[in-house]
Amino acid sequence: MLFKKRLQKDKIGCGDIFYRRMQISAQEQARVLYVSDDKQGIPHVHYERTLLAGGFKDLQGVRVLALDAFSKDFHINA
């Protein structure tokens, strides 16, 4: 399990951009600011969230998610 988390952490770096589809016809964009471990050693992704819908961009501020949750929700837009 620790090896899997290390691989995930190595794939997510500062400045990377990930996307998540929302139920409405919109996307959520996450621009990674940094990844850090909390006091228990659990890695967390600090990211700037932007809502994208029909050519409209709405900056939503900085959010934090555990690395596992972030990797399940967000994907690289190829």
pLDDT tens per residue, range 47-70: 999 999 888 899 999 999 999 899
Answer whether residue 78 is part of any domain: no
Range of the domain at 56: 2-73
- Region 16-45: mean pLDDT is 91
Residue 37 sits in a domain whose CATH number is 2.30.30
Report pLDDT for 78.
42
Which pLDDT band holds residue 8 (cuts at 50, 70, 90)? Answer: low
Percent of the chain with pLDDT over 70: 83
Answer whether residue 31 is part of any domain: yes
Answer whether residue 65 is part of any domain: yes
Q: What span, in angstroms and rounded, lies between the C-alpha atoms of 43 and 39?
A: 10
Answer whether residue 32 is part of any domain: yes
Which pLDDT band holds residue 43 (cuts at 50, 70, 90)? Answer: very high
Report pLDDT for 15.
92
Answer whether residue 59 is part of any domain: yes
Of 53, 47, 51, the closest CA to residue 66 belongs to 47
The domain total for the chain is: 1
